[in-house]
Amino acid sequence: MMQEKKSESGVAAMAACYQKFDPAAYLQYNYTPPRADFSRKDSIVPWKLACLHRAFNEGDVSGELLVDIGSGPTLYQVLSGCEVFNKVILTDFLELNRQELHRWLHNNGSSSLDWTPYLQHVCKLEGRRSSAWTEKAARLRRVVTDILHVDVHSPQPMAQDALPSTGADCLVSCFCLESVSPDLAAFSRALGHIRKLLRPRGHLLLIGALGESYYFGGPGVRIPVVPLDEAQVCASLKESGYTLIRLEVYTLPQDMRVGVDDVTGVFFAKAKKD
């Protein structure tokens, strides 16, 4: 009982931290070089894009609806999936992040970050000319049908009628659960909550930080993170009702440690709802 109360107040404290989240600064810290250097294979963003490209193109991930949990102000995580699914729903806890995404999707490209090199890079991964990026941008704008509120700490993370009753065919979630949870128990519970949004045997593609205890969500906005190791990620997935298909790990080279967090690595998990 005491433990539950502590976790509840921890969740409330996390929500308070996010009130100061600054989407433009967050994009600047994490989605520009050296972390997003497309000329380097060992840069963190190209690594993430390669994992997602592979996972979406192995033939086992299919269906109509892809839902991204905790999108933040970013779009990179659905650039491969938008070719496989005819309907994509983006979600975030903060109105500010949903507005940022809305601006790109509806105002023809106006947003705090230029996503063009991302679109071009994923086109190349798909064996297309990089000039096909405009087609990919048009496809993304067409298939994203909604940008909705989500709270992974709620047993019902999205509004009741937000998704079809069968659930999504696939979930993707990047750097969300560990950066919004006060402890490992809350992280595992959140995995269980989002599982309810997924159809039976649907896929979960989860990317997250390893060994991270904080990151900056804006100037002076220090947000605590649950430091995870690979074994904890695997155990949490199992405990929450997923079967792990593959876990890949990236270790940050020294020059990617740019002072905006203390992350040491990144995991990519491909899993399936039991």
Binding residues for ligand SAM (CB under 6 A): 18, 21, 70-72, 74, 77, 92-94, 97, 150-153, 174-176, 179-180
Give least dist CB 52 to ligand SAM, A.
11
Give least dist CB 241 to ligand SAM, A.
19
Distance (Å, rounded) from C-alpha 141 to C-alpha 130? Answer: 18
DSSP letters spanning 79-128: TTHHHH-SEEEEEES-HHHHHHHHHHHHTTT-SSS--HHHHHHHHHHTTS
Q: Which of 38, 35, 23 minimizes the C-alpha distance to 73?
A: 23
Residue closer to ligand SAM (CB basis): 60 or 146? 146
Tell me the pairing of strands 222-224 and 214-216: antiparallel
Residue closer to ligand SAM (CB basis): 18 or 38? 18
Residue closer to ligand SAM (CB basis): 132 or 148? 148
Beta strand extents in the chain (DSSP E only):
65-69, 87-92, 144-149, 168-174, 198-210, 214-216, 222-224, 242-251, 265-273
Distance (Å, rounded) from C-alpha 187 to C-alpha 227? Answer: 11
Cα angle 21, 156, 200 (rounded to 5 degrees) comes to 115
Residue closer to ligand SAM (CB basis): 29 or 133? 29
Give least dist CB 207 to ligand SAM, A.
7
Give least dist CB 24 to ligand SAM, A.
13
Residue closer to ligand SAM (CB basis): 74 or 80? 74
Give least dist CB 210 to ligand SAM, A.
14
Give least dist CB 80 to ligand SAM, A.
14
Residue closer to ligand SAM (CB basis): 150 or 237? 150
| Torsion on CA atoms 42, 46, 52, 54, rounded to nearest 10 | -70
Residue nearest to ligand SAM (CB): 72
